[in-house]
Amino acid sequence: MLKHLNITITGKVQGVFFRAHTLEEAKKYHISGFVRNEPNGKVYIEAEGESEPLSHFLEWCGIGPEKSSVERIQIEEGPICDLSGFEIRK
């Protein structure tokens, strides 16, 4: 079943290549959407995909890349937006 998730990640998640690694993980799990840094130091992701791949993607988001330190991950379901591809946004 296709789902759309709005994900906010808090912790040491900027300046550690979190967005680049998120792009790699999204491609690996065939997730569509985008990732961007927020002015408040958080990372925001919109992700669309099938339930099981999204579950694996979320597991990774809770850990992040090697130099990051994820303190909190907030997940909200949203309406399907028919996103295609995955990109890093400024």
Q: Which amino acids are annotated catalytic?
A: 19, 37
CA distance 35 to 45: 4
